[in-house]
Amino acid sequence: MTRMPFFVASGLTAFIGLAIIFSVGPSSVHAQTDWQTVEIKAEEYSFTPRRIQVKSNRPLELVIENEGHEPHQFRSALFKDQMIEVEIGESAVRGRNIEEVDIAAGQTARIKLLSPPAGQFDFQCRIPSHHGMDGMILIEADQPLPR
């Protein structure tokens, strides 16, 4: 019987353990969670839809596609005091109090909030020449998900 040296067996065990951990990482959590996904189109000079209605206490993903020829911003008080994750292309950032997301022409931004609070939150593009590019997110109170 051939025996592996201890360090080879230990390394292989550690590698398999990490592979298992990463295989059930965020993508599995995302798949198992009851996400609310809202698609928003940004163009010159409007968002569609302008009014969005979702539930609180359920993870929310805003998918904002800039179909225009100019860059746009997506800014909302909804992000204040919230931990959010923003993905644009291959780049991702996670943080608290992210005030706005800049979206270049032709790009799509994904903004994820795990537990959006109930309330009414305006959103807008704050680029000076894009006045009137705004909307509202209504987040209705919902029962918390069981743990």
* Cα–Cα distance, 107 to 111 (Å, whole number): 13
CA–CA separation, 24 and 28 (whole Å): 5
Mapping DSSP onto H, E and C, the string for 82-98 reads CEEEEEECCEEEEEECC
120-137 pLDDT per residue, tens: 999 999 999 998 899 999
pLDDT category of residue 8 using cuts at 50, 70 and 90: very low
Between 7 and 63, where is the model more confident? 63
pLDDT, tens only, 22-43 = 333 444 344 556 899 999 999 9
Extended strands (E) in 3-116: 36-43, 46-48, 51-55, 60-66, 72-76, 83-88, 91-96, 100-103, 108-113
